[in-house]
A and B are shown apart, each in its own frame.
Chain A
Amino acid sequence: MSNSRSSPPNLQVSQTSLQDALRRALRDEGGRAAVRVAPGARPEAQRLVFALLREASDVKGGSLLEITPDDWLLTELPSFEAGKLQALLGKILGEGSVKLLPLPASKNVLAGLLHASRLPQFLEVPAAELVSPLGLDARLDKINLAQIYRRQNIVGIADGRLPRLVFQRLARERSGLQQILGSLAEDRALLRHAEAQIQKRVLEALGDEAARKSLMGGGPIAPLFLDLPPELLPAMSPEANDTSFPAATPALYATLTLHDAISISNLASRREALHQEAWGIAISGLSASALSLVDMDALPADWLILDWSPALEDTQALKALRRVDRARLILDGCNGEAALTWGLSQGIHLFCGPWIEDVVAASRMEHCSEAELCLRSECRARGLATSPSGRLGCHKPLLLEAVLPERSS
C-alpha cells in the first residue's frame, strides 16, 4: 500500500468527493440532521468519538469531516439516529460539546463550509500504535538532571505579610522530560518508567555531596520535598517500628503521586515509622477530578498537594475539601493571583508554582544591592537552576543560595 494521500490527482478526487458529500447533505429532504462535535485534544477521546461517529455513518450514511482539529462534522443522519448519537456523545463529552444541525433547516452552516477559505477534510483518526520501548534506556542515560529539575519553593503567605520560605522542592519541570523523550513519552507507561528512573538518580545525587551542592545551589535551606516512586521509600528499620518514641519533625518529605501512594498498603504505619527517621510523606497530584474520586481524609500524609485549576472552585471539589484539615494543604501550580486568592479564601496558606517563583525572585531582588544589573527573569531562572552554569551571572551568590532572604531582626 503506497501512501497516495499527498499526490495531486488523488487530492483532486478527494476534494471533489468532499464537496459532493457536502452538496448531498444540502438537498431539500427533511427528517435529517448533521452532528457537529468538539472532541477535545485528548487522543483517547478523539479515537473514541471517531469510532462512534464512524459506526453511525457506516450504517446510516453521511460523511465525516474535520473542519478544524477540534471541530468535527457528520454531514447527515436520519433525525432519529442523529438524536441518539447526540445524546450518546453528550453523555461522554458533555452536552456543550455536541450540536445537532437539523437539515435542511441548518443548510447555511454546511453551505458556508463549501465556500470556506480552508476547506474541511475527510476525518481520519489513525489507531494508536504501540510505541516501541527500544531506545528509552539510552535516552535516559544521556539526561542531565539539571536539564529537567528545578529548585522550587513552597512559601507561606498569611495575613498579608511578606511571603516566607517554608519548604524547598526539588522537582521536575512538567514538560522537560517529555520534550527529551519525544514520541517515547506518548506512552504513559514508558513515561512513568522514565520518571521513576530519574527520581532514583536524583536520590543518588543527593547522597553525594558535590552533586548535591550542584543541584541545590549550596546547602539546603529548608526541609525538602522530593518526588519519589514508592519503591525508593526508605525501608522500615526494625527499630523504626517502635513508635513509643515521639516523632521528629520531618526534614525530608517523600512526595508520592496519589496513585503511587495508594499502592503502599501500609502507608499509615510506614509514615509513622518514617517520622522516627525525620522523613515525612506528602501526596501530590490532587487535581479537581481526583478530589471527586477520593476520600482525602483517608490519606495518611503530612501534606496534601492540590493542583490548582479553576475547576477547584466547583461545588463538588469544595465539598471534598471541606473535610480536610486546611493546615495540611499546599496549593501547587499557582499561576496567578486567582490561585492565591482562592487558596487564601479556603484557609490554605502554603503555595508553590510559577507565579510564586516570580514573587520569590522579586523579593530577592528587593534585598539585592546589585539588582539593577539583572532582569527579574534572569534572577528567577538562576534561583530555579540546578547546576552551577545555570546560576552563572549572579553577583550575589550567597543571596541566591538563600532563596528568599528575611530581614534579620
Chain B
Amino acid sequence: MSSAKLNTATLPAEALGAVALSNAIRDAVALGEERLVLMLRFSALPRARRFGTRAELLREAWEPLNSTARVRGFKLPGGDLVAIGLPNASDVLEHQRKILFSMLEPEEAEKAVYMLRLPQQAAAVMAAVEDSLGMVAAMRAMTLEAPENRVVDTAALASAERGLTTADLSIFFRRQKVCWLEPGGQNTKLFWEDRRAALSEVCERLLPGCDISLTPAFAQRLMQSIDRRQLSDIARPAELRDMRTLALPLRVESIFSAEFLRLDSIIPQSQRQKLILGLDAEDVLAEPDLFLLARHFAKARGYRLMLEAASPFAATVVSSLRSGFDFLRLKWSEEFPGADSAATAELSKKLAQAAEHVVLAGADRPAAIAWGWEAGIRMFQGRLIESQRPAS
C-alpha cells in the first residue's frame, strides 16, 4: 500500500459536503451576497418515506441540480440534499422545488422541501443544516429515563467502603469447581476452585436500594477493595500451606496493591503456579500499559493468568493467546448463539486454537455444556458442574 495511491476520493464525501456547505453559506453571509438555497430534507420525512422507491424517485428528481450551471449541490451526512444557486438560477430552482413538492403529500412537503434566501434567512438555513448534521439525534439520545433505583453518590460509596473494612466478606464469596468434562462423561477431573465475590450481594448489604451498575467506575472501586480483603485473607500461612489450585478474579491495579505484594513475598515459589489470576478484558484494555507491567511481573514470578470475557464479543476482540494468557474464561448466557448456529461456528473458529484453554462458566443448564462441547470447550464451571463427582 503505497502512499502514491492516496487521493481525496478516500475522504468521506458526505462529511466534506457538510463542510463545503457550511463554508459556502458563511461566505455568502460574510460578503452579503444573495443566494437561493433549496433543501430536500429526508430527515424531516417519516421513516418509511426516507427509504425505498419513493425516496429513490425523489433523489432522481434532484439529480439535474447537480449538473445545473450556477447551482452547486451538496449531500449531507444524514442524507439530506441542498443546492445553492446564484440569483439568476432562481427559475431552475423554483421549477425543481415544484417537482419535488408534487411528489410528496402536502403536509410532508411542507416539512421537507423548502427554498430559503441568503443572506436574509441565514439563521434558518444554518438551523436546517444543523438539524441535518444530527443534532436532533443527539437530543433524542439525552432523553434518558431517570433510573428507578438510587444512583450511588460519593457519600454512599465512602460509607460502603467503610462498611467493607469491617464486614465479614466470606458470606459473599462463591466457590465453584472448574472441571474437565468430555462428551460421554469420561475423564471428568477437578482442575481448580473458582472463588469470587458476588458484587450484587455486597451492594444489597452495603448500598441498599442503589443500583451500582449505573456507576460502573464505583463498582470497579468496590471490587478493588474486595480484592484487597481477599488477598489478605489468602496471605495466611495456614491458607498458603494447604492451598489447592485457585482461580482468583482481580483488578489489574490490585496486583500492585500492598496486599498482593505481601502475598507475593510470603507465598512459597512452588505454590505460585497454583494461583490463577483472572483479569477482566475490559480492565485489561482500560490501561494496557499497566496490564503489560502486571503480566511481566506475574509471568516472572510463575503465576498463571486467565482472561475473563464478559461476552463472546469481548473474547473475540482481545486475543487471549497473543496477550499472554494461560486461560480464557467465558461466561455463558442465554444471549449466546444456539449450539449449531453460524454464530457459534464463527466464535469457535476464533477460539479454535484456544478451545482447550477455555473455561465456560455459567454452566447452569445443559444448553451451556452442549454449546461448549460444540465449540470444542472441555472445562466448565457452574451449578451443573457442582453436582459432578470428579475422579480426582
- Which residues of A line the B interface, CB within 8 A? 42, 44-45, 47-48, 51, 55, 88, 91-93, 127-128, 130, 132-137, 156, 158-159, 161, 164-167, 187-190, 192-193, 196, 203-204, 206-207, 212, 218-224, 226, 231-234, 239, 245-246, 248-252, 257-268, 277-279, 285, 287, 289-290, 292-295, 298-299, 326-327, 344-347, 349-350, 398-399, 401-402, 404-406, 408
Contact = CB atoms under 8 A, between A and B. Distances in A.
Given A158-B7, A249-B14, A278-B77, 16 more contacts: A42-B290, A42-B293, A133-B218, A133-B221, A192-B217, A206-B142, A207-B139, A219-B126, A252-B134, A252-B135, A262-B317, A263-B282, A278-B134, A290-B288, A293-B319, A408-B27
A231 B11 CA distance: 30
Interface stretch (B61-69, B155-163, B196-204, B233-241): B155-163
B300 A92 contact: yes
Interface of B: 1, 3, 5-8, 10-12, 14-16, 18-20, 22-24, 26-27, 29-30, 42-43, 47, 50-52, 76-79, 126-127, 129-130, 132-135, 137-142, 144, 153-155, 157-158, 161, 214-218, 220-221, 224-225, 253, 256-258, 261, 264-265, 281-293, 296-297, 299-301, 310-314, 316-319, 322-323, 335, 350
Contacts of A221: 18-19, 22-23
A258 B290 CA distance: 15
Contacts of A258: 285
B11 A158 contact: yes
B257 A166 contact: no
Given A221-B18, A278-B77, A294-B318, A289 B289 contact: yes
Interface centre among A134, A135, A289, A326 (most CB of B within 10 A): A289
A398 B153 contact: no
A193 B217 contact: yes
A150 B11 CA distance: 24
A51 B77 CA distance: 56
Contact of A279 (B24, B134, B214, B290): B134
A120 B256 CA distance: 26
A91 B295 CA distance: 10
A296 to B, nearest CB: 9
A268 B288 contact: no
A408 B319 CA distance: 48
Given A135-B154, A293-B285, A189 B220 contact: yes
A213 B124 CA distance: 14
A292 B142 contact: no
Contact of B19 (A134, A161, A222, A289): A222
Interface centre among B1, B138, B292 (most CB of A within 10 A): B138
Nearest to B325: A293
Q: Main SS of chain B's interface residues?
A: helix
B158 A222 contact: no
B19 A277 contact: no
A347 B265 CA distance: 49
B44 to A, nearest CB: 13
28 contacts: A42-B293, A130-B161, A133-B161, A136-B154, A158-B6, A158-B7, A159-B7, A164-B8, A164-B16, A189-B221, A206-B142, A218-B126, A219-B127, A221-B22, A222-B15, A232-B142, A245-B50, A250-B77, A257-B286, A262-B282, A262-B318, A268-B313, A279-B137, A294-B317, A294-B318, A298-B350, A346-B1, A347-B5
Nearest to B313: A265
Interface centre among B127, B293, B335 (most CB of A within 10 A): B293
A223 B142 contact: no
Contact of A295 (B18, B265, B296, B316): B316
Nearest to B288: A289
Contact of A278 (B7, B30, B137, B289): B137
A178 to B, nearest CB: 15
A204 B130 CA distance: 16
B140 A156 contact: no
A293 B284 contact: yes
Nearest to B324: A293
Contacts of A190: 217, 221
Contacts of B286: 188, 192, 257, 259
A349 to B, nearest CB: 6
Contacts of A218: 126
Given A219-B130, A222-B18, A398-B30, A92 B79 contact: no
